[in-house]
Amino acid sequence: MHNRTVANFADLVSEVPPDRWSAPTPCSDWDVRALVNHVVGEERWTVPLMAGKTIAEVGDSLDGDLLEDDPVAAASYAAREAEVAATWTIDKVHLSYGDEDPHEYLRQLAADHLIHGWDLAVAIDVPPRMDRDLVAEVADWFAKREELYRSAGMVGDHLDGFTEPTEALLAAFGRDPGWRSP
């Protein structure tokens, strides 16, 4: 699941038109470049965390602009590295809130990639790639965690009135499934 969502996101980044990097996204605080930088940052963090490092050991080495002059190349490289790191065997991943099961960590990343993949697709006006099986897996996983994520301020308010599975998942993450780039 992790690697499928990571590959999908990297493919979407390769489709960003040169004039769309500053376009708005459903994440009101981020334009396309900031959204991609956020996801690339998660991918870059995956490597040291899946190698057993702590956040303190990584420090601020992954802060700031990770895209530099070639966002597509940066995203492609980070995706490949994260996909490899996801195959490593480790007992616990050291996250900001404590130690976590690596499978749970990878599910968290998969969910973020899937939702941010939708964010990116609608921001650059290409059809979102919301695979039905991935939507079902993420929806099942997220249903048990939605209130925790919301109380931590990690997702917006749940939007009611959506029953189609993809729209319901987006709404659970606080996204308006009808959002379109201005």
Render pLDDT for 16-60 as a digit per residue (tens, 0 to 9). 999 999 999 999 899 999 999 999 999 999 999 999 999 999 999
What is the residue-averaged pLDDT of the chain? 96
Q: Cβ contacts of residue 116 below 8 Å, gap of 6+?
A: 9, 27, 35, 38, 39
Q: Give the mean pLDDT of 105-115.
A: 97
* Residue with token string 């690697």: 3
Contact in structure between 175 and 26 (CB atoms under 8 Å): yes
| Residue 174 banded pLDDT, cuts 50, 70, 90 | very high
pLDDT tens by residue, 49-97: 999 999 999 999 999 999 999 999 999 999 999 999 999 999 999 999 9
On the question of pLDDT at 114 being above 90, the answer is yes
Distance CA 138, CA 123 (A): 22
Helix (H, G, I), strand (E, B) or coil at 164: coil
CA angle (140, 142, 143) in 5-degree steps: 65
Q: Give the mean pLDDT of 102-126.
A: 97
On the question of pLDDT at 182 being above 90, the answer is no
